[in-house]
Amino acid sequence: MSTRSGVVAHRGASAEFPELTLVAYEQALKQGAEALEVDIRLTSDGVPVLLHDPRTARVADRDVWVHSSTLDELSTLDLGTWHPVHRRPEPLLTLRSLLVMAEAYPNVKLFLETKHPVPSGGRVEVALRDELKYFGLDRPASHLESRAVMMSFSVMAVRRFRQLAPQVPAVQLRERGNVLKSWPAEGFGAQLMGPSIGALRARPWLVDYWRSRGMGTYCWTVDDPADMLLCRDLGVDWVATNVPSRALTVLDGP
Ligand code: G3P
Ligand code: CA
């Protein structure tokens, strides 16, 4: 059958570099990652930026709410010095800057996760669609050929995005607690299911189940070599990892 699982750099090469920064993505690409994973939130002035948490405390030199800060305010943050290995300042990355950088890598896929706290209710999916349109990524020849793939834990967000950009495929993310609620998977309108590695370890048969319904599997976050091999053996399509260099070595090995 198939080619091996593709390696997705989760928030970039984020074990070695500060997550969601340009340096983390550039290094992941240098290491050979075949796809990038991205978390997207909206600033108060409606700009899609790359931050995982609703507040910045974990990764910045100041703690602010993302949804109530402007792009200018967030651009003054240092998102690099906190990192235990990197320890150097890094600026905030906008989705647009990432997509500009990614234009030089046309074969690299982009797994774009909308984070959707109540305050942005739906606007982040619209902003993502608009950015994809700006870069001509909203009308791929087919789902399989699409460089961009939308993702969300929210069933509503996936549905909403698929209505906004029907030609762009989506991953319905699932955690261990709710993975079985994905049995009527076709109903979500996603082309791939996205279980955590914990969910997949507990129910490895789900990969075949989804495949039999025409859906692929994207598994996160897979840093342990044994888990990488499990994904490979199950035929998982995409493996998201904080250590892309390790995943490439393990998955290409015997
Ligand atoms: O790749 C999906 C995964 O990133 C979902 O979890 O919390 O890391 O965004 P989280
Ligand atoms: Ca994510």
Residues near 162 by beta carbon (within 8 Å), at least 6 away in sequence: 150, 168, 170, 189, 190
- 103: DSSP letter: T
Report the nearest-CA residue for atom 3 of ligand 1.
Answer: 220
pLDDT tens digits for the chain (254 residues)?
Answer: 458 999 999 999 999 999 999 999 999 999 999 999 999 999 999 999 999 999 999 999 999 999 999 999 999 999 999 999 999 999 999 999 999 999 999 999 999 999 976 656 789 999 999 999 999 999 999 999 999 999 999 888 998 999 999 999 999 998 876 666 555 555 578 999 999 999 999 999 999 988 998 899 999 999 999 999 999 999 999 999 999 999 999 999 88
Q: Is residue 96 part of a domain?
A: yes
Which tens digit of pLDDT belongs to each residue from 1-31? Answer: 458 999 999 999 999 999 999 999 999 999 9
Q: Is residue 213 part of a domain?
A: yes
Mutating to test ligand 1, I would choose from 5, 14, 39, 172 the residue with most ligand atoms within 8 A of its C-beta, which is 39
Q: Is residue 195 part of a domain?
A: yes
Greatest alpha-carbon pair distance for the chain in Å reads: 50
Look at residue 2 in the predicted model and tell me its pLDDT: 57
Q: Is residue 102 part of a domain?
A: yes
Report the nearest-CA residue for atom 10 of ligand 1.
Answer: 52
Q: Is residue 54 part of a domain?
A: yes
Range of the domain at 13: 6-252
Is 52 in the active site? yes
**What distance in Å separates the CA atoms of residue 147 and residue 98, rounded to the nearest whole number?**
13
* Alpha carbon of 11 to ligand 2 centroid (Å): 7
CA distances from 27 to 37, 49, 153, 165, 247 (A): 13, 19, 27, 30, 14
- DSSP labels, 167-222: TS-EEEEE-GGGGGGGTTGGGGT-SEEEEBHHHHHH-TTHHHHHHHTT-EEEEB--
Output phi, psi for 252, to 5 deg.
Answer: -85, -5
Q: Is residue 1 part of a domain?
A: no
Query: What is the b/e burial string over 148-169, where b = at least 16 CB atoms within 10 angstroms of the residue's CB?
Result: bbbbbbbbebbbbbbebbeebb
Task: Tell me the Cα Rg of the chain.
Answer: 17
Q: Is residue 90 part of a domain?
A: yes
Any idea what the CATH number is for the domain that residue 41 is in? Answer: 3.20.20.190
**ipTM for the assembly:** 0.99
Helix or strand holding residue 41 (H, E): strand 35-42
Residues near 47 by beta carbon (within 8 Å), at least 6 away in sequence: 71, 94, 127
Question: Which residue, chain included where needed, has tokens 């235990």?
Answer: 84
**What distance in Å separates the CA atoms of residue 32 and residue 41, rounded to the nearest whole number?**
27
Is 116 in the active site? no
- State the total domains in the chain: 1
Look at residue 1 in the predicted model and tell me its pLDDT: 45
**What distance in Å separates the CA atoms of residue 172 and residue 182, rounded to the nearest whole number?**
9
**What distance in Å separates the CA atoms of residue 63 and residue 95, rounded to the nearest whole number?**
21
**What distance in Å separates the CA atoms of residue 79 and residue 19, rounded to the nearest whole number?**
8
Report the nearest-CA residue for atom 6 of ligand 1.
Answer: 220
Alpha helices in the chain (DSSP H): 22-31, 71-74, 95-102, 123-134, 155-164, 197-202, 206-212, 225-234, 244-252
**What distance in Å separates the CA atoms of residue 243 and residue 33, rounded to the nearest whole number?**
10
Find the residues whose C-beta lies inside 6 A of ligand 1.
Answer: 10, 37, 39, 52, 113, 173, 220, 240
Look at residue 14 in the predicted model and tell me its pLDDT: 97
* Alpha carbon of 254 to ligand 2 centroid (Å): 30
Q: Is residue 176 part of a domain?
A: yes
Look at residue 187 in the predicted model and tell me its pLDDT: 55
